[in-house]
Structure 1
């Protein structure tokens, strides 16, 4: 099983780069939901830690694999994602609901000075 690893600073323009990297890694039969999950996980980091936070994306598996695992690690182990219910007019608050809708499962792993939010597709 191959693994894609990308380290960068969280920024809105990084979402496009990460989606492209995921698409290249998973190949033509890739998993579009993986691109969605990467975008939502990166958006959470930008919203809660701010642009410029260092992140590491890991994608395990390939487009042909039975399961694909997406992980995004950031330097804030105590800032944990919590699903919320967005009202109809809210412009944010749906990211984790989208993750729950497309992922088989998801969770958070706390490391030494880091946190990894992951999902399996």
Structure 2
């Protein structure tokens, strides 16, 4: 997916079977990529069950250096600057995984995703002997 303003409502539609908090956090993480890396940046969005009863939302982009910063001083008249504060308030925890050529910003939310909406990893193929 490319990070564009049009992609934000499309992502919310794709996640329509998930709760409001999942849709909001995914939208905010995607919007951060648009705002800080630019429109058209390729991203991967994942929503998965953690195995501990939580839902994990991840957005991966190709810039490991542009790290998110939680700003708690957005004025009432500011048009931006609240995305990570919202995510911080809603999520049980969140963070960044840095790799050599990409980073993943993630958060974990209470509750499991709806059944049938998340692909579980495929079981390894068995060799026939």
Are 1:72 and 2:65 counterparts? no
Q: CA deviation at 1:61?
A: 2.4
Structure-2 residue corresponding to 1:22: 15
Structure 2, unaligned runs of 5 or more: 110-129
Give RMSD over aligned pairs. Answer: 1.5
Return the alpha-carbon distance in structure 1 between the equivalents of residues 49 and 13 of structure 2: 16
* 1:3-42 mapped onto 2 (5 Å cutoff): 8-23=1-16, 27=17, 30-42=18-30
Q: Which has the larger radius of gyration?
A: 2
Which of the two has greater helix per residue? Answer: 1
**Structure 2 CA distance, aligned partners of 1:40 and 1:94?**
9
Work out the CA distance in 2 between the residues paired with 1:37 and 1:60.
13
Equivalent of residue 60 in structure 1, options 38, 48, 54: 48
TM-score normalised by structure 2 residue count:
0.79
Aligned residues: 107
Residue 84 (structure 2) aligns with: 96
Following TM superposition, where does structure 1 have runs of at least 4 consecutive aligned residues deviating by more than 4 angstroms? none
